[in-house]
């Protein structure tokens, strides 16, 4: 029972992997690694060093990746004292991404990175370089088993790690104890991304009166259709590449969340994990 437990969450762009993985990690007291952010950091290195043409071989970029450090700051530890006893409102902890100690969390979500990342991630050499970082981060982030007082006395609660991406269940952790494939319709995913951009725009306006003065969206602000097109192009590249394409692992649990609430999907995944860890389910009331 006290063994470490790995949850792999894969799926297309904006299917909810990252926010779901973070909330599940918090529920279970596990660590969390966002593998997409490592590919985004690699893409930022390419852009900053003018190595946009990765199609002719990416040796310069691979050297840069090997010389760089990526850190993912995620703190589920505040709830570690009783990880499986958490009840109440669902929260999604923040994650900060550090590239060579610089906080690039916002910069790696920019449109230039969105446009280039799938191409960078299709290079076999880049994937090997990222794999080294990924394994090291997972080892460091994984939480250890703890003993918690339950109604039948002290029980041992496993520690573990949640990792999300495209090839986690198929290539990175083929033996993961729980594999989830999250999916949703392209339009639902595009609308969610658009909503996210809208609410960050609102926040920026609330903080800055100059921005609030003009109530029009900035000129470069994409439409839902633009976002849908970008997501579909990236999915096409991720599904059709040669190295570790996006696939549903044969032992993955497929969850289409087009018509599900965020809470439903987080709680059902956390309970699936509890089942497999031999712990009591918490959310049968859903
Ligand atoms: O958040 P979103 O779903 O838009 O993307 P992401 O998870 O940050 O991943 C960005 C890109 O990195 C993907 O489109 C893939 O090209 C690549 N990626 C990958 O190849 N393998 C992974 N395990 C994770 C991401
Ligand atoms: O990591 P990935 O790109 O797959 O998705 P994300 O960055 O977690 O974004 C998904 C967005 O959809 C978040 O704003 C979630 O709150 C929202 N959402 C969801 O994930 N699942 C639902 N059932 C409904 C909304
Ligand atoms: O992976 P490592 O050799 O560090 O040690 P482990 O304790 O055997 O594995 C740690 C976690 O990695 C386990 O929870 C496995 O699910 C996962 N793993 C995997 O999925 N596939 C492998 N080939 C090796 C480990």
Q: What is the tens place of the pLDDT at every residue in 72-82?
A: 998 664 443 33
Q: 55 falls in which pLDDT band (50, 70, 90)? A: low
Q: 86 falls in which pLDDT band (50, 70, 90)? A: very low
Q: What is the tens place of the pLDDT at every residue in 252-285?
A: 999 999 999 898 999 999 999 999 998 889 888 7
Residue 2's pLDDT is 42
173, 179, 249, 277, best to mutate for ligand 3 pocket (most atoms within 8 Å of CB): 173
User: CB within 8 A of 218, min separation 6: which ones?
Assistant: 201
- Cβ contact 144:2 at 8 Å: no
User: 282 CA to middle of ligand 1, Å?
Assistant: 31
CB of 30 closer than 6 angstroms to any ligand 3 atom: no
Q: 99 falls in which pLDDT band (50, 70, 90)? A: very high
Q: What is the tens place of the pLDDT at every residue in 30-44?
A: 999 999 999 999 999
Residue 285's pLDDT is 75
Residue 213's pLDDT is 62
Q: What is the mean pLDDT of residues 101-116?
A: 95
Residue 148's pLDDT is 79
Query: With 50 as the cut, is the pLDDT of residue 88 above it?
Result: no
CB of 143 closer than 6 angstroms to any ligand 3 atom: no
Residue 284's pLDDT is 83
Tell how far CA 256 is from the center of its chain.
17
- 247 burial class (0-12, 13-18, 19+ CB within 10 angstroms)? middle
Q: How many C-beta atoms lie closer than 10 Å to residue 160's C-beta?
A: 26
- Cβ contact 18:164 at 8 Å: yes
User: 17 CA to middle of ligand 2, Å?
Assistant: 6
Residue ranges and CATH numbers for the domains of the chain are 5-277 (3.40.50.300)
Show the tokens assigned to 257: 């969340």
């Amino acid at each position: 029972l006290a063994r470490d437990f790995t949850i792999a969450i894969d799926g297309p762009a904006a299917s909810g992997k990252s926010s779901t993985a973070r909330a599940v990690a918090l529920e279970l007291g596990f660590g969390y690694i966002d593998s997409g952010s490592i590919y985004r950091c690699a893409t930022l290195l390419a852009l900053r060093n003018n190595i946009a043409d990765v199609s002719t071989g990416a040796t310069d970029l691979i050297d840069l990746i090997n010389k760089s450090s990526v850190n993912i700051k995620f703190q589920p530890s505040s709830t570690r004292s009783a990880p499986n006893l958490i009840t109440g409102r669902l929260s999604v902890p923040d994650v900060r991404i550090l590239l060579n100690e610089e906080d690039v969390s916002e910069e790696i979500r920019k449109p230039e990175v969105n446009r280039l990342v799938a191409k960078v991630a299709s290079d076999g050499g880049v994937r090997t370089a990222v794999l080294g970082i990924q394994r090291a981060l997972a080892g460091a982030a994984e939480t250890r088993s703890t003993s918690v007082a339950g109604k039948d006395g002290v029980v041992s609660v496993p520690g573990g790690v949640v990792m999300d991406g495209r090839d986690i269940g198929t290539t990175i952790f083929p033996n993961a104890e729980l594999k989830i494939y999250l999916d949703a319709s392209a339009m639902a995913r595009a609308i969610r991304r658009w909503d996210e951009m809208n609410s960050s725009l609102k926040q920026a306006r609330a903080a800055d009166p100059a921005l609030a003065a003009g109530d029009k969206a900035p000129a470069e602000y994409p439409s839902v259709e633009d976002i849908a097109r970008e997501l579909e192009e990236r999915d096409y590249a991720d599904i059709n590449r040669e190295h570790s394409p996006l696939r549903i692992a044969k032992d993955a649990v497929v969850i289409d969340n087009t018509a599900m609430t965020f809470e439903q999907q987080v709680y059902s995944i956390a309970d699936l994990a509890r089942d497999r860890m031999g712990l009591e389910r918490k959310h049968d009331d859903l």
